[in-house]
Amino acid sequence: MWLLGPGAALAQNAPSQDAPSGAALQAEPAPAAIVLSDDRTTHALERRSRYWIDPIGNRTASQVEATADTLPWNLREAGSSYNIDGKALWLQFDAVNPGSRRWFLQLASSGIDQAQLFYRGPDGKWVEQEAGDSQPVSHWPLPGRFPTFELSPQDGKPVRYWLRVEHARVDFASPIAILERSNLLASREREQFLLGAYFGLAALIALVAAANAVAYRDRNFGAYAVYVATLAAGQLAYLGVGAQHLWDHWLKWNEVATFLLPGVSAAAALWFTRTVTEPARYSRALDLSVWSLIAALLSAVALDTFLTSRMSITLVMVFIAMGMVVVVGLIVLAWTHGDDPHIRLIALGFVPVLVMAIFPVARGLNLIPAGWLTRYGVSIGAAIEMPILFYALSLRGNRRREAQVRAAALSYNDPLTGLAHTRSLLQRLESAILRARGLKHACVLMAVKISNFDSIASEFGRDTADRALIVAASVLRRAITDIDLAARVGEHEFALLLEGPTTTENALSRAQQVVAGGLRSAPALPPGTTLKFFVTVAVLPDRDLDATGSLKWVQDSVNAMPADSRKLIRPLNF
């Protein structure tokens, strides 16, 4: 989740042994010209070009061309990397375009300090193109995330090209290829679509996480929002999207942001991990160690921002590697010693980034060549990680808030059934009666009684009787709509308020639904046990009865029904 800045930069341009820059025993002859034929749309420069490192870095294209036969050229191999701090890397290759298609040379890495392509035009004069962080992206020959140059349009004649690259602090290891125009544009469109989807997802999750943090006062979501936001900001800098779209003309900021923002996101990731795993529960010394590592990482990032040296970026890399180890350790500790049922899902969320980070780390150690996974591996892992962690944090937050919600609901709900209690019903009923009188429409109040409650309690005990009350509450909930209200108004007595407007036919239909629901078998009750409901129904307003009088009226009526009554529903005023 962190190797998006200094770490990813080293992964992208990982160090290896320095390429020879002095005199070689025998210079590599120029490879054969690359034929840009119509049957291929991409030509890699590996083993098709040769390189030389200018130890001073001040030679011009004319000087290199004039002394080319005496320079110690070497064949460029796949996966090569070059330490060119204070130097300049020259690559030379020949290409011939036998057709009329347009071809472009692309260096598939963002953050390159300076790249220049030289070749002689038909008139013998130099044609020069420049890209890289030395100038705004909008001034590049072909603006985009990667330095890209158009090759000579000369038809059928070999052209010799000279590519000059300056890149400090990290080794240069960018893949270089020649692409046909349609292939180049198609690849750019795919990249922009995928990057747009990723950054859109990151922005959405960061905003929703921040909203949850504010609404529920949940520090886990707060830390997660900061982590996702800084992670996205770090990738904006590292992937070249920021320089292309956001800070095109801010050259100094672009130079700083490439290493600063990803470093800050690494510290935010460590802080987020500490927040969700809570190491202080196991050891205050461990918690202090995590805070110390965060402070050390931020200090290293600040130091690197001012020194901008190879040593300072290496120090940042060391702290990032230590942070990765700490993240794994904290997750394992919380998994093995914690009691959080969602920690496994949280651990699963970290897995994609930790696994995909293997590729840039391995490249940083020069174990594998630079490639697609070393550049985009962490981005892919982050895209998988974000929704998993958000879902896990949502489950954890819901679990922690459940007790608070239940406690808050006790002021207006019955603790056993979850239905409204008498006070809440009377408040709603009073408002419904006033509204019905003002608008001249009817509402309905029903009293419901479990007539066989005492026999169930005496035969099966109090626990079964409580379950019978819960089953009854479930039946009543299914009989009402969102604007109606079900309440418990006695030990085994309930009330339903249909706020309407409604009709007598609808009221009787609801009453029949309640009676039928009680007669169905319920898994929570002993086999063969059903609930026998007595129901009285009144259309309100009636006479001058207020809420209390109306409720007493329907309750007295349902309690007056004989225990052996065969008529289970009793209309009171219709």
**Which residue, of 409, 436, 468, is where some domain finishes?**
409
Work out the end-to-end distance of the chain between its first and last CA atoms, rounded to an integer number of angstroms.
Answer: 70
Same domain, 222 and 153: no
Q: Which helix (H) or strand (E) holds 120?
A: strand 114-120
- Domain of residue 170, residue span: 6-184
250 part of a folded domain? yes
pLDDT of residue 7: 43
416 part of a folded domain? no
Q: Residue 41: which CATH number? A: 2.60.40.2380
Query: What dihedral angle (degrees, nearest 10) is formed by the CA atoms of 499, 505, 506, 510?
Result: 110
pLDDT band at 512 (very low <50, low <70, confident <90, very high): very high
CA 360, CA 369: separation in Å to the nearest integer? 10
Same domain, 211 and 324: yes
Q: Are 429 and 551 in contact (CB under 8 A)?
A: yes
Question: What are residue 313's phi and psi, to 5 degrees?
Answer: -70, -30
Same domain, 240 and 180: no
pLDDT band at 407 (very low <50, low <70, confident <90, very high): low
Compute the half-sphere exposure of residue 14: CA atoms within 13 Å on the CB side of its CA: 23
Same domain, 169 and 237: no
pLDDT band at 81 (very low <50, low <70, confident <90, very high): confident
Same domain, 177 and 198: no
Q: How confident is the model over 424-443, as pLDDT tens digits?
A: 899 999 999 998 888 888 89
pLDDT of residue 98: 85
Q: How confident is the model over 325-335, as pLDDT tens digits?
A: 899 898 888 88
The two tokens of residue 266 are: 């690494």
Same domain, 195 and 339: yes
List all residues 6 or more positions away from 507 whose beta carbon is below 8 Å from its beta carbon. Answer: 444, 446, 498, 537, 539, 571
pLDDT band at 382 (very low <50, low <70, confident <90, very high): confident
Q: Based on the structure, what is the number of domains in the chain?
A: 3
pLDDT of residue 405: 55
3-state secondary structure 239-295: CCHHHHHHCCCCHHHHHHHHHHHHHHHHHHHHHHHHHHHCHHHCCHHHHHHHHHHHH
308 part of a folded domain? yes
- 454 DSSP assignment: H
Q: Are 230 and 266 in contact (CB under 8 A)?
A: no
Q: How confident is the model over 240-260, as pLDDT tens digits?
A: 889 889 998 898 888 888 888
Same domain, 397 and 494: no
Q: How confident is the model over 198-242, as pLDDT tens digits?
A: 999 999 999 999 999 998 888 899 999 999 999 999 889 888 889
Q: Which helix (H) or strand (E) holds 195?
A: helix 181-216
Same domain, 196 and 72: no
Same domain, 142 and 220: no
CA dist 434 → 420, 438, 450, 549 (Å): 20, 6, 30, 14
pLDDT band at 153 (very low <50, low <70, confident <90, very high): confident
1 part of a folded domain? no
Same domain, 367 and 478: no
**Which residue, of 145, 169, 184, is where some domain finishes?**
184
CA dist 543 → 432, 445, 536, 540 (Å): 15, 14, 17, 9
The amino acid that residue 61 corresponds to is: A
Comparing 117-121, 295-299, 312-316, 387-391, which segment has the lowest mean pLDDT?
A: 312-316
Can you list the alpha helix ranges (DSSP code H) found in 341-480?
Answer: 343-356, 358-364, 372-409, 422-439, 453-460, 462-478
164 part of a folded domain? yes
Question: What are residue 497's phi and psi, to 5 degrees?
Answer: -110, 115
Describe the chain by its helix, strand, coil percentages, rounded to 5: 50, 15, 35
CA 425, CA 551: separation in Å to the nearest integer? 9
Q: Is the peptide bond before 541 cis (omega within 30 degrees of 0)?
A: yes
CA 206, CA 212: separation in Å to the nearest integer? 10
267 part of a folded domain? yes
This prediction's pTM = 0.70
Same domain, 84 and 229: no
Listing DSSP states for 378-394 in one string gives HHHHHHHHHHHHHHHHH
Q: Is the peptide bond before 341 cis (omega within 30 degrees of 0)?
A: no
414 part of a folded domain? no
CA 209, CA 63: separation in Å to the nearest integer? 58
**Which residue, of 387, 409, 431, is where some domain finishes?**
409
pLDDT of residue 218: 87
Same domain, 504 and 540: yes
48 part of a folded domain? yes
DSSP-derived pairing of the beta strands 159-166 and 114-120: antiparallel
